[in-house]
Amino acid sequence: MTKPCMSDTPVETCRTLTATLARVGDKWSMMTIVSLEHGSLRFNDLRRQIGISQKVLTGTLRGLERDGYVTRTVTTLKPPRVDYGLTDMGREVLGPVRSLAGWALGQTERIEQARRRYDELRAETLLSEPSPASVDHRTTNSIRSFSTASSPS
């Protein structure tokens, strides 16, 4: 028997949930969905509006189209015209995305406070570590040579 990942939710359901949230929670996916809220856009218009590279937007749009959030419409003109728009599911996800964004914006101060506390504690910990004069240099050199050997060239 597999252990549930949340309360009584089966692991397979959690994996599906994680994959879905990873798609709509991805920075570029969110921005793409919100950018298409008011209607279809051509690729370059969408790219300029979001401020995203061509490669990243292409991958994002393919993933959103594959998962059913976005449609891709090719119009046979010279040159061909390609428009992207939201599907019903893409429009439906706007509500939860906006709720999550509102919640996140409401947490800004708390997050900043937590980061300051963490950074202060981290700085105190670093200050209380042994001075370089008391460090065993054989260990330091072993660590240094390991990190040099294992770092990509």
Domain limits for position 68? 11-92
Residue 145 falls inside a structural domain = no
CATH number for the domain that contains residue 88: 1.10.10.10
pTM over 0.75? The answer is no
Residue 124 falls inside a structural domain = no
Residue 112 falls inside a structural domain = no
Residue 122 falls inside a structural domain = no
Residue 151 falls inside a structural domain = no
Residue 37 falls inside a structural domain = yes
Alpha-carbon distance of 146 to 144, in angstroms, equals 5
* Among candidate residues 13, 79, 19, 12, the one with its CA nearest the CA of residue 44: 79
Q: How many domains in the chain?
A: 1
CB-count exposure of residue 28 (10 Å: 0-12, 13-18, 19+): middle
Alpha-carbon distance of 70 to 89, in angstroms, equals 8
Residue 120 falls inside a structural domain = no
Alpha-carbon distance of 63 to 26, in angstroms, equals 11
Strand ranges inside 3-152, DSSP E: 41-42, 70-75, 81-86
Alpha-carbon distance of 51 to 28, in angstroms, equals 10
State residue 153's pLDDT score.
45
Residue where the block lists tokens 């046979």:
76
**What mean pLDDT value characterizes the chain?**
83
pLDDT tens, 84-139? 999 999 999 999 988 988 998 999 999 999 999 999 998 888 877 665 555 454 44
State residue 150's pLDDT score.
43
pLDDT tens, 38-79? 999 999 999 999 999 999 999 999 999 999 999 999 998 888
Angle CA(18)–CA(88)–CA(35) in degrees, nearest 5? 80
